[in-house]
Amino acid sequence: MAATGSILVVDDDPAICVVVGEALRRQGHKVKTAASIRERTALMSSFAPDVLITDVMLPDGDGLDGVAEIIEHKPDLNVIILSAQNTLNTAIRATEKGAFEYLPKPFDLNELTRAVSDALGTRAVAANGDGEGALPHDGLPLVGRSPAMQEVYRTIARVLSNDLSILVLGESGTGKELVAEAIHSLGQRRTKPFVAINMAAIPRELIEAELFGYEKGAFTGAHARTAGKFEQAQGGTLFLDEIGDMPLEAQTRLLRVLQSGEVTTVGGSKPVRVNVRIIAATNKDLLQLIEENRFRQDLYYRLNVVPIALPPLRERREDVILLARHFLERAAIEGLPRKSLSDEAAQMLMAYHWPGNVRELQNLMQRLAVLSRENVIAGDILRHALPLDSVPADHAVPADQLAHAVREWTRRQLGVGLGQGGSRSLHDDLLAVVEPILLQETLASVDGNQIRAAGLLGINRNTLRKKLTDYGLDPLQLRVPD
């Protein structure tokens, strides 16, 4: 049976105290509630709880204030923070104060009761050795309050005080590099270098020299010993962007460095010890690459100690307006005219499918800050500014029609084709019908510009190029359809 204990719930909302209190009592815990910091302080000494659940915004102050001191006096106490201010800042502050868990409001009651059971079965997490207020809290880079982003904040907060390897997953423009920078600049390595290298941006044959450095004369043009990114990042963080594009030979070498903690330059023989935190990122399906023998499984496990998944912007639409306002505000701080969004414009932004994710939204807001003559950005301006006439992805009728066509096609294939063999697979057959149309139409809409088409499709440029070759499509011959 799960352990039971005494729990103090602090929230100025009586409804929350009742609901949480009842749920916990039903599980056999002893529960008391308080509505303010004053009441909390009074109860802490008389009641001596095992777990403290506290809201952040309390009528007489910030619920996080004093938490570090409480834990210092009572190291066994586990603290669970509830907060409606679902920002990276709150998650980090909660972790810094030594809180056991941070739950964004509105929270899931099951999650809370589970957190309490976990807390009772675990020793309190010691407060971060940096001490209070040691981290720069202002101007935190990541914006967004969606549940998906809260999960990201919680994970970031948990990895700041350790050196675990991190794999950031997400489509292009979702903020993978920003997450890596945030982990570095808020973590214990922040006074050391943050070095980024993008595997897709460097010719394959140069990747090893860039990463590990090279000796004088190692190859034509190697005029002097040059330190690689590993050595440049000494003591700090190395961000390996687009790791899925790393050639296999370089992967083998990288794995060796991660296992030994030593780098040997290309053409060199004397290893150099390196102390570097690794954060890798990819928009590719690494498991698929492993299956195709294009990515080493052992390297994958080394890199993927803590995964952080950034969902596409279209799957966290509640963040769109916050982000849009953030970018307009930033433009104003940079000296551009201050702009706001009309209701219609806000609706349109929410409905759009954002294939280029946050980067696309950021670029659009910057453009509008410069171009729009009115102070309030109206729907009309957006209609021109959004690509493809801002057709929202959720456009119900075409999506329904497509779904209908796919259903009919699949049923027919299953009816006709079962047991006849010869066909590659239903999945491939469908893609072979649909994908070339998607690629052709998208390319035609941007006059064959592969970079823009890849952005609209939300896939990597190299992936697009490969697909075009596979389907025998020539982007230059694609004309805007009638």
Ligand X SMILES: Nc1ncnc2c1ncn2[C@@H]1O[C@H](COP(=O)(O)OP(=O)(O)OP(=O)(O)O)[C@@H](O)[C@H]1O
Q: Which residues bind ligand X (CB under 6 A)?
A: 142-144, 170, 172-178, 241, 283, 323, 358-359, 362
Name the minimum Å distance from CB 146 to ligand X.
10
Name the minimum Å distance from CB 197 to ligand X.
12
> Closest CB to ligand X among 21 and 170?
170
> Closest CB to ligand X among 58 and 197?
197
Name the minimum Å distance from CB 121 to ligand X.
34
> Closest CB to ligand X among 332 and 406?
332
Structure tokens at 193: 């270098």
Structure tokens at 232: 């440049």
Name the minimum Å distance from CB 415 to ligand X.
42
Stretch (H or E) spanning 346? helix 343-351
> Closest CB to ligand X among 142 and 274?
142
State the number of CA atoms in the 13 A half-sphere of 165 facing the CB. Answer: 17
Nearest residue to the partner ligand X, using Cβ: 175
> Closest CB to ligand X among 128 and 362?
362
Rounded Cα–Cα distance for residues 302 and 304 (Å): 6
Name the minimum Å distance from CB 388 to ligand X.
20
Contact, 295 vs 251, CB < 8 A? yes
Name the minimum Å distance from CB 189 to ligand X.
19
Rounded Cα–Cα distance for residues 63 and 357 (Å): 35
Q: What residues are paired with 376 via a beta bridge?
A: 340
Task: Say if strands 166-169 and 61-62 run parallel, antiparallel, or are unpaired.
Answer: unpaired
Give the total residue count for the chain. 482
Contact, 319 vs 144, CB < 8 A? yes
Rounded Cα–Cα distance for residues 463 and 447 (Å): 19
Name the minimum Å distance from CB 175 to ligand X.
3
> Closest CB to ligand X among 40 and 176?
176
Minimal CA–CA distance to 155: which of 131, 124, 186, 114? 186
Rounded Cα–Cα distance for residues 375 and 114 (Å): 49
Rounded Cα–Cα distance for residues 350 and 313 (Å): 10
Rounded Cα–Cα distance for residues 207 and 228 (Å): 10
Rounded Cα–Cα distance for residues 98 and 73 (Å): 12
Give backbone dihedrals phi and psi of 79, rounded to 5 degrees, phi first.
-115, 130
69-98 in b/e burial notation, b at 16+ Cβ within 10 A? ebbeebeebbbbbbbeebbbbbbbbbbbbb
Rounded Cα–Cα distance for residues 136 and 186 (Å): 7
Beta-strand ranges (E) seen in 60-179 are: 61-62, 78-83, 101-104, 166-169
Peptide bond into 106 cis (omega under 30): yes
Rounded Cα–Cα distance for residues 481 and 261 (Å): 56
> Closest CB to ligand X among 177 and 344?
177
Q: What residues are paired with 334 via a beta bridge?
A: none
> Closest CB to ligand X among 50 and 241?
241
Name the minimum Å distance from CB 203 to ligand X.
18
> Closest CB to ligand X among 10 and 308?
308
Name the minimum Å distance from CB 179 to ligand X.
7
Name the minimum Å distance from CB 480 to ligand X.
27
> Closest CB to ligand X among 254 and 279?
279
Name the minimum Å distance from CB 366 to ligand X.
10
State the number of CA atoms in the 13 A half-sphere of 209 facing the CB. Answer: 19
> Closest CB to ligand X among 53 and 157?
157
